[in-house]
Amino acid sequence: MYRFSGLFILLTLLSLISCAVSTVDPAVEAEPEWMSTPPSDDDFYYGIGGSSTGNEAEDREIAISRAQSNLAASISVDIISELELSNTVAADGSSKETLESRIQQSVSQSLVNLEAVDNWFHPDRGYWVLYRMNRQDWEAQRKADRRVSVPVPSGVAENSGYNIPFIAILTTKDLPLQLLPGGRNTPYEITLDWVVSDFPVLEESGGIHFSRLSGVVSFKQYGLVLFSREYGPVKEGGLNYEQARERAALKVLEAFRADSSFDDEIQKVLAE
């Protein structure tokens, strides 16, 4: 009696295990090794991305985008190490975290020759992809990428008439750069910061307004100042402060136009 009951229980358990095993979809591949152990070597940068929205086509696009962002983050780690950004603060007061974000956004726009290595789909876990980029391709692209944004000069009203000549002067300097006025997420940046001082109007001067102006032009990489030049200060007078500033600004900009050492320094920095 006891032997029969034990045999019955054993057969029941075997039947349940058999049913459980039979419910596994043989078409679903096992998780690839790179999901748990991301590849790493001296020849490639790698990126992994995944998405699980329930829509396979949508998940595929999201996964690819995330893999590329992940790959860009891997490259950014090396750049951050090269620039020694530990506890660094940019000239504009941006934190180390903001600088890292700038670098990753810039790198994301410079990726070339990306290779889809593998992909994996699971009904419950979504779509996953593995991408890579040759390190030599990245180094070549990095040297060739000369995009430089030129934001609106700071320190005066954005629509000030003497901000416009700054762009025109840069284009005449024949710099080995791709100038992008108002651009963003570029490896380099050329900025102009005006420093303005207005003097009180003196009656004995006939009501003439006087302003003193300096212009600081900086060449930056990922928000870090590589070098700067200050032009001025120049003091000028006018019927009002706007006219006085404009007259001073024209002399400051002319000094910048004539400064060939600025051009030489950019050439030197890019060659390093």
Share above pLDDT 70 across residues of the chain, in percent, rounded to a whole number? 81
Question: For 147-271, CATH number?
Answer: 3.30.160.180
> Which residues are within 8 A (CB) of 236 and not within 5 positions of it... i.e. 6 or more apart?
210, 211, 213, 244, 245, 247, 248, 251
The SS3 assignment for 38 reads coil
Peptide bond between residue 26 and the one before it cis (omega within 30 degrees of 0): no
Give the CA-trace dihedral at 119, 123, 124, 129, to 10 degrees.
Answer: 10
Please state whether the predicted TM-score (pTM) of the whole model is above 0.95. no
3-state secondary structure of 100: helix
Task: Summarize the confidence of residues 223-234 as an average pLDDT.
Answer: 92
- In whole angstroms, what is the distance from residue 222 CA to residue 272 CA? 16
pLDDT in tens, 141-176: 988 999 999 988 887 766 566 777 898 999 999 899
Kind and range of the H or E element at 258?
A: helix 241-258
Tell me the sheet residues that pair with 129. 49, 119
Model confidence band, residue 200 (pLDDT cutoffs 50, 70, 90):
confident
CATH number listed for the domain at residues 28-144? 3.10.129.140
Helix H or strand E encompassing 31? none
Per DSSP, helices labelled H in 40-117 are 56-83, 96-108
pLDDT at 189: 94
* pLDDT of 23 strictly over 60: no
pLDDT score of 79: 87
Whole-number Å distance between alpha carbons of 11 and 76: 59
Helix, strand, coil percent content, the chain, rounded in steps of 5: 45, 25, 30
Phi then psi for 231, rounded to 5 degrees? -120, 120
Answer left, alpha or beta for residue 126, where phi above 0 means left and psi between -120 and 50 means alpha. left
Rounded to an integer, what distance in angstroms lies between the CA atom of residue 256 and that of residue 205? 30
> Given pLDDT bands bounded at 50, 70 and 90, which one contains residue 81?
confident
What does the domain layout of the chain look like in residue ranges?
28-144, 147-271
